[in-house]
Amino acid sequence: MNQKPLSELFDLTGKVAVVTGGTGIQGTRITRGLAAYGADIAVVDLDETTVTGLADEISEEYGVKTLGVVCDVSDPDAVNRMVADTVKALGGIHVLHNNAATKTDDLEKFFAPFENFDFETWRKIMNVNLDGMFLVVQAVGKQMIKQGQGGSIIQTSSTYGVAGPDFRIYEGSEYLGHQITTPVAYAASKAGVVGLTRYLATYWGDKGIRVNTLVPGGIESGQNETFQKNYGARTPLGRMAHVDEMVGAVVYLASDASSYMTGQMIVVDGGWTAW
């Protein structure tokens, strides 16, 4: 194997990266992080104005090729069109950050206690968080196999995909005016992401396609002061995460710096799961 200069291990020049949920809290920064290291970017999300606007901003800021793609990841036809459009516009797909997730439009139902959790809401969450992840990784994986160059797939889980919630932190906690908790459908879907990742890492290993999981801790995103205080008290580093603290892990997993890493989790949680 030819060794790259160590200074080039994180270089993504010539790679095309697809980021689903690309205009969300994490996606907005991760798309920029991948572009900063040279990747051409397909920003994938639901709103045309938003994805196009972010793609244009990234192109102007980093001088890379970009594409904004509207795609409902729970729709197989839309996913296939997204892959075809990306390949046509950018020349291929080498990196996937499989990141789309949903809270649904009804936060009251989303944060309902387990005993009263609505099955229709369960299905809506699973339809995006797990079914959508399956559809995207299947379609992109097919494209990577066709290209014959391997690839890197990074799927977003959560600490609640690998550990049970500490429900004490939710006393007096709010998000966008709603009393919050960790919904059962969210935790179950994020646990499924870890299993899907491990399966695909072994299934596609001989194709040179690496599949790993990013496991973020809680990120500051509009929670009230009570929740942030409770969360910090439960975390060795004493605070919630800032969104940019997820970017380095994704760049690492996307790049040749992690070329011998597959089927693994990178847990970026301030030590939450160490206790």
Grade residue 215 by pLDDT with cuts at 50, 70 and 90.
Answer: very high
What CATH number should be reported for the domain whose range is 12-269?
3.40.50.720
pLDDT at 222 over 90: no
User: What is the pLDDT of the chain when averaged over all its residues?
Assistant: 95
Give me the percent of the chain exceeding a pLDDT of 70. 99
Residue type, 137: V
pLDDT the model gives residue 1 = 59
Distances (CA, A) of 90 to 57, 64, 112, 153: 17, 10, 42, 18
- E strands, 89-248, in order: 95-98, 151-156, 174-175, 178-179, 209-216
**pTM metric for this prediction:** 0.95
Average pLDDT, integer, range 163-184: 87
pLDDT at 180 over 90: no
User: What is the SS3 string spanning 31-46?
Assistant: HHHHHHCCCEEEEEEC
pLDDT the model gives residue 125 = 97
The predicted-structure confidence for 77-91, as pLDDT tens digits, reads as follows: 999 999 999 999 999
pLDDT at 137 over 90: yes
Of 194, 118, 124, whose CA–CA distance to 156 is shortest? 194
- Beta-carbon contacts of residue 201 (< 8 Å; ≥ 6 apart): 210, 211, 212, 262, 263, 264
**Which residue shows structure tokens 């942030």?**
228
Average pLDDT, integer, range 64-69: 98
Greater pLDDT, 173 or 119: 119
Active site residue 186: yes
CA–CA separation, 232 and 160 (whole Å): 16
**Bridge partners (DSSP) listed for residue 262:** none
Q: Are 245 and 221 in contact (CB under 8 A)?
A: no
- Catalytic-role residue among 37, 62, 175, 186: 186
Q: Domain limits of the chain? A: 12-269
Q: Are 129 and 189 in contact (CB under 8 A)?
A: yes
